[in-house]
């Protein structure tokens, strides 16, 4: 097999694909789960077993050892501020830097630590429902899906919630850097957002040093001030990553999950009868319509993918959304089946870079959706939901309910 016989041309911004990427995935599962996506110029892997294995394969990594952001390259002068934040990010580093950074923040996100947030999330969800306009349609995303994870991560980290609008604006601008075929204007906007985000955090960290607060930021500042484990740039990058990752994917997954549950018809409360049922429903929603569909890795040595051998420095795209619908790994993959015995989705990744916020995201989804459907069991969509033009971050433009 050659690159030519395995190459696929599919514009990731084509409207039909944006609304339903699963048709292409089904075709590739039948034809070849490893294929060359011409529009991205890289090899992609769609099969569950291979994606799961490659996520754990230490011959692959996130750290770009050949160019930006770790090493400046020509033509990225307008992305200096964005690259500075990215270069210190836990997401973009490999051991030993990754190990050191992850160890510092991991304690706040383990299941035992986040479980104590359950009552707070329930209260917040109820307050947001109380504030909905009586008898009028509402958009779930800004009125419910966004405030919960944003408020929780701000409070957990120790960042003022009243700056939420700024945080959202900066986060959205930075995340646009991962959209295919981005424009120069998009890049410049992301760089401005990075500069503003960095300046805000620098000032806030200096103020926060003297508060003695019991939050993650205070703990990270204390580590930095010992002069041993955390640089200023790493502290800023870690805060940006946690604030961005702490809400972006959960917002999308909340919308996707509510749409999926309403699409099933009947009384939605049946999916949340018990805590165990709620957990199984959330896990299946994560598999069925994940909030992130592509995660890339660099090859650090030659890697045999079957039809092709990756060379060191080449990127490969691991298609999480496709892996979750692989018929060789899941029975009736296109069916929504909470409690399925073959539940093993890769929506949070796997291996070294498994999502550090997974326990928190699961808890937020379980609690918020349980409250939503308990309080509003007759919810129905008031306009056809449409996914926004952003293939990597798979989420709805809006979700009008009533």
Rounded to whole angstroms, the Cα distance separating 375 from 142 reads 18
Q: Are strands 396-398 and 386-387 parallel, antiparallel or unpaired?
A: antiparallel
What sections of 133-227 are H helices per DSSP? 140, 147-157, 164-175, 184-208, 216-225
Residue 315: Cβ-neighbour burial (10 angstroms; 0-12, 13-18, 19+) = middle
Lowest mean pLDDT among 186-200, 314-328, 336-350, 364-378: 186-200
Cα three-residue angle 279-284-288, rounded to 5 degrees: 155
Label residue 390 by pLDDT band (50, 70, 90): confident
pLDDT digits (tens, 9 = 90+) for 108-118: 777 677 888 99
Query: Among positive and negative, which fits the CA dihedral 48, 49, 50, 51?
Result: positive
Distance between CA atoms of residues 226 and 31, nearest Å: 55
Cis peptide bond upstream of 277, omega within 30: no
Nearest alpha carbon to residue 126 among 142, 144, 149, 150: 144
pLDDT, tens digit (0-9, with 9 covering 90-100), for 239-294: 888 888 778 899 999 999 999 999 999 999 999 999 999 999 999 999 999 999 99
| pLDDT score of 1 | 33
Chain mean position to CA 66: 25
Burial of 318 (0-12, 13-18, 19+ CB in 10 A): buried
Q: What is the per-residue pLDDT for 83? A: 86
- Rounded CA-CA distance 169/231 in Å is 26
Counting residues of the chain whose pLDDT is more than 70, the rounded percentage is 96
- State phi, psi for 241 to the nearest 5 degrees: -60, -45
CA distance 288 to 337: 9
User: What mean pLDDT comes out for the span 159-179?
Assistant: 87
Token digits for 123? 């209260």
Q: Express each pLDDT in 41-55 by its tens digit.
A: 999 999 999 999 999
What is d(CA 391, CA 180) in angstroms, rounded to the nearest whole number?
Answer: 8
pLDDT single digits (tens) 274-285: 999 999 999 999
CA 119 to chain centre: 24
Tokens of 122: 């329930």
pLDDT, mean of residues 219-235: 79
Please, which residues bridge with residue 295 across strands? 318
d(CA 296, CA 359) in angstroms, rounded, equals 23
Return the structure tokens found at 11: 């514009």
What's phi and psi for 312, nearest 5 deg? Answer: -55, 130
- C-alpha R_g of the chain: 21
User: Residue 180: pLDDT band by 50, 70, 90 thresholds?
Assistant: low
Q: Are 281 and 317 in contact (CB under 8 A)?
A: no
pTM exceeds cut of 0.95? no
Residue 69 has what pLDDT? 47
């Amino acid at each position: 097999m050659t690159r030519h016989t395995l190459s696929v041309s599919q514009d990731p911004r084509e409207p039909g694909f944006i609304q339903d990427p699963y048709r292409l995935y089904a075709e590739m599962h039948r034809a070849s789960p490893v294929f060359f996506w011409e529009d991205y110029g890289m090899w992609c892997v769609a099969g569950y077993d291979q994606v799961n294995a490659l996520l754990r394969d230490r011959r692959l990594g996130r750290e770009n050892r050949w160019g930006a952001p770790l090493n400046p390259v020509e033509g990225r002068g307008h992305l200096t501020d964005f690259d500075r934040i990215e270069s210190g990010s836990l997401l973009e580093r490999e051991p030993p830097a990754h190990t050191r950074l992850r160890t510092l923040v991991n304690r706040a996100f383990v299941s035992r630590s986040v479980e104590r947030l359950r009552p707070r999330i329930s209260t917040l969800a109820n307050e947001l429902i109380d504030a909905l306009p009586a008898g009028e349609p509402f958009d779930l995303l800004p009125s419910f899906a966004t405030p919960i994870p944003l408020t929780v991560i701000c409070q957990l980290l120790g960042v003022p919630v009243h700056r939420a609008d700024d945080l959202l604006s900066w986060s959205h601008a930075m995340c646009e850097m991962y959209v295919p075929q981005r424009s120069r204007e998009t890049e410049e906007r992301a760089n401005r957002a990075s500069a503003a985000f960095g300046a805000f955090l620098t000032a806030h960290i200096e103020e926060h040093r003297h508060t003695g607060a019991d939050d993650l930021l205070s703990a990270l500042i204390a580590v930095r001030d010992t002069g041993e484990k955390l640089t200023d740039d790493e502290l800023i990058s870690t805060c940006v990553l946690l604030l961005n990752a702490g809400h972006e994917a959960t917002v999308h997954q909340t919308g996707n999950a509510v749409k999926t549950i309403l699409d099933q018809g009947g009384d939605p409360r049946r999916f949340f009868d018990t805590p165990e049922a709620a957990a199984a429903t959330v896990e299946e929603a994560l598999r069925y319509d994940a909030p992130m569909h592509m995660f890339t890795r660099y090859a650090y040595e030659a890697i045999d993918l079957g039809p092709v051998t990756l060379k060191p420095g080449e990127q490969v795209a691991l298609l999480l959304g496709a892996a979750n619908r692989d018929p060789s790994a899941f029975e009736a993959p296109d069916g929504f089946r909470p409690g399925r015995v073959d539940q093993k989705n890769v929506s949070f990744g796997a291996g070294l870079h498994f999502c550090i916020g997974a326990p928190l995201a699961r808890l937020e989804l379980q609690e918020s959706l349980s409250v939503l459907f308990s309080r509003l069991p007759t919810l129905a969509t008031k306009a056809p939901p449409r996914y926004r033009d952003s293939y990597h971050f798979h989420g709805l433009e809006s979700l009008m309910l009533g």
